[in-house]
Structure 1
Amino acid sequence: MATSHPEFNEKTTATEVAQTFASDIRGKNVIITGVGPNSLGEALALAIGSQNPANLILASRTETKVEEVAKNVREQNPGISIAVIALNLASQKSIRAAASKIQGLVDRVDTLINNAGMMVLDRETTEEGIEMQFGTNHIGHFLFTNLLMAQLKNAAKASGRGSTRVVNVTSAGHRLSPIRFHDYNFEGKEVPVDERPPGGVATHSKTANILFTVYLTKHLATAGIVSYSVHPGSIWTGLSRGLDDAGHDTMSKTSNVWKSADQGGATMLVAAFDPALTDVSDPSAIYLSDCQFAKTAPHAVNMDAAERLFELSEELVGTKFDL
């Protein structure tokens, strides 16, 4: 499988991709999480908003910041339909309330872009006591996506196979660690060798994003829904606001190519709207970087791990989901 535009690369912008796939955006209901000023979410909103979606639903923790982005999109695209939703992914109560509001707004969701992410240096927890990065980056989006499954399936029934999509943002950092099932909450419990991160870097939320994508791809195939996981590239965004000087120095050395937010959003829009990506023949071929398919670490596409993670996630949100 390949994308329809092999010339797209790390320099391609979300604006360019949206223009290219204008007919695939027009008339769709699109949800973006993690939307604030000068962010990837804003770049996505501006690019998608320029191509006449039916409804653009912007969700993030701080409603006033989302409103700033909505105002910017409206100014550039008069007449566009935009809804602003308060969504705190570190609170399952907030997630359920946000999903309920969206269910009241639209009966179908054509495109869900789970873009929000959090990075913390010290161990923190969500309202439910789940380690913050895992609880927000994965568990939060896991619950949000599953609560909107009826709307996603409605969209799939009304459109062509594979045009309804769930895009989960991850990063190349998924290579740092498999899922620590024996100590997912980072409480210092002993873990078996196959769950220990190479180099001792203990973080696994980005691996979880890909495994969730693998699970969705397998179990939603009959419904005509596809899912992709995307590494947007190296971008200086609010995600790095929690880093100290040493952390910023380390981050600055992790990539030779630093992207603008508009460039960072490009791969997400390829995953969301490229008409060539309507079917996934191999559940492990669901990861894109620099607007093209890329290889993942083996632990991120292991189907047994994906099934196990889904069951653990159901336990942590207290709800069973039958896809």
Structure 2
Amino acid sequence: MKSTTWPTFGDTTTATEVADAFSDQIRGKNVLLVGVSPNSLGEHIALAISRHSPSLVILASRTASKINQVIDSIHASKPSCLVKSLTLDLSSQSSIRSAAKELNALTQKLDIIINNAALNVPDYETTQEGIEMHFGTNHIGLFLLTNLVLPSVLSAVSSSAVPGSTRIVNMTSAGHRLSPIRFSDYNFRKVASELPMEERPPEGLPKALTDPERPYSPFVAYGQSKTGNILFSVSLTEALGGRGVRSFSVHPGSIWTGLARNLDEQGQALIKATGKVWKTGDQGAATAVVAAFDPKLNDVLGGYLADCQLAPAAEFATDPKIAERLWDLSEELVGEKFDLGGK
């Protein structure tokens, strides 16, 4: 497996250190960061990047007041950084479409997209379109937003002197291993035994994670959405890799963020038990900054990163044929087809 520029970077490396190492690659870039709030991974990514003179940083999230708090933090350390805010609700496709129009009016060149936004809810909910909330927000919402602003990404490629430096980074999780895509039941109406074998959760999971007698598990639903993030990068690489766009999926590691705090007591106990190394926010943000700016990845056609290095993901999350099926399903769920020239 190919290495990054700094093979010594690992689970304790911070986003601050990574940004310092790749300062030249950050300078002059237009960056869209989706998913920011105070004390979140998004804020740590934004703070690390903003210190190195990007041309424009666009912060997109659901709550304007929280975006503004992050902007204040950025300007406290780098007053000259140009930062714009964009409010959108990833659980509403109409909100996403409105935000994409606003974004396309802000800039016609996006060098970097970092899709950091995600939610984790303990009870069954659906998006405004009736899609299970994790899948509909964490995957479908980001799928739609990214495709709607792809013309700005392709514009960046055409003006870049360095093929491969235009990137789309999708934050995922090691939790993707909890579930493949349930094509026959993405809305979790069936118990696992009613699913085709290839769509069932892996055998041997604790009953607290997936009860065989209950159709819905928030952990498995979250896992399905995170598998979707990896497969989305696979599809983007397949379609756009030859045109100079790179897409990577990133597992940030175990960080005590708002995602974990939203879980009930049992859920928090399970999360605590799975974390071998607990990272600070700055450490958790590091791998996303590697994926977005490491110049050695210009020559790598996509992949999954963890602890600042390329790493293996589950086979069901990296199969190009499964990625194509998910792309087709995603287009169906947003009611629009996207011509990427390579699909």
TM-score normalised by length of structure 1: 0.97
Contact 1:178 1:300 in 2 (8 A): yes
CA RMSD of the aligned region, Å? 1.1
For 1:264 and 1:48, the matched residues in 2 are separated by: 14
Alignment of 1:264 with 2:284, yes or no, is yes
8 Å Cα contact 1:119-1:242 kept in structure 2: yes
Q: How do 1:40-189 residues align onto structure 2 when only pairs under 5 Å count? A: 40-159=41-160, 160-188=162-190
Q: 1-side partners of 2:95 and 2:299: how far apart?
A: 33
Partner of 1:311: 328
* Superposition deviation, residue 15 in structure 1: 0.5
CA distance in 1, matches of 2:31, 2:189: 37
| Whole-Å separation in 1 of the counterparts to 2:22 and 2:12 | 17
> Shift of residue 222 of structure 1?
2.3
Cα distance in structure 2, aligned partners of 1:89 and 1:20: 32
Tell me which residue corresponds to 2:237: 217
Give the superposition deviation at 1:193: 1.0
Cα distance in 2, alignment partners of residues 241 and 94 from structure 1: 26
Q: Which runs of 5+ in 1 are unaligned?
A: none
1:194 partnered with 2:195: no
1-structure distance, mates of 2:241, 2:268: 41
1:200-239 to 2 correspondences below 5 Å = 200=210, 202-203=220-221, 204-239=224-259
| Large movers: runs of 4+ above 6 Å | none
> 1:33 and 1:298 mapped to 2: Cα distance?
27
Q: Which residue of 2 aligns with 1:299?
A: 316
AA aligned to 1:207 is T
Post-superposition CA distance 1:268-320 (Å, at most 9, x none): 00000000001335x6xx00000001111111101111000000000100110
Q: How far, CA to CA, are the matches of 1:31 and 1:112 in structure 2?
A: 5
Percent identity, please. 55
Are the counterparts in 1 of residues 144 and 334 from structure 2 also a CA contact under 8 Å?
yes
Aligned counterparts of 1:29 and 1:211: Cα–Cα separation in 2: 25
Of 141-150 and 194-203, the range deviating more from structure 2: 194-203
**Cα distance in 2 between the residues matched to 1:223 and 1:316:** 27
Assess if the C-alpha contact under 8 Å between 2:261 and 2:268 holds in 1. Answer: no
Query: What's the CA shift string for 1:147-172, capped at 9, x where partnerless?
Result: 01100000011111100000000000
The whole-number CA distance in structure 1 between the counterparts of 2:27 and 2:102 is 23
SS at match of 2:131: coil
For residues 100-131 of structure 1, the C-alpha deviation after alignment (integer angstroms, 9 at most, x for no partner) is 11100111000000000111111100111110
Distance 1:180 1:45 in 2: 34
Task: Give, in angstroms, the shift of residue 241 of structure 1.
Answer: 2.6
Corresponding residue to 1:244 among 239, 264, 269: 264
Q: Is the 8 A contact 1:217 1:280 kept in 2?
A: no
Counterpart AA for 1:256: K
Q: Structure 2: which 5+ runs fail to align?
A: 211-216
Q: Is the 8 A contact 1:25 1:52 kept in 2?
A: yes
Letter in 2 for 1:228: F
**Whole-angstrom distance in 2 between the partners of 1:65 and 1:74:** 14
When normalised by structure 2's length, the TM-score is: 0.92
Deviation at 1:185, TM superposition (A): 1.1
In structure 1, how many angstroms separate the alpha carbons of the residues matched to 2:65 and 2:39?
A: 14
Q: Distance in 2 between matches of 1:107 and 1:275?
A: 23
Question: Partners of 1:270 and 1:256 in 2: how far apart?
Answer: 22
* Residue aligned with 2:254, SS: coil
How many positions carry a matched residue from both structures?
320
2:28 and 2:145 map into 1 onto residues whose CA distance is: 23
Deviation at 1:188, TM superposition (A): 2.1
Kept in 2: contact 1:177–1:207 (CA 8 A): yes
CA distance in 1, matches of 2:183, 2:42: 30
Which SS does the other structure have where 2:296 is aligned? helix
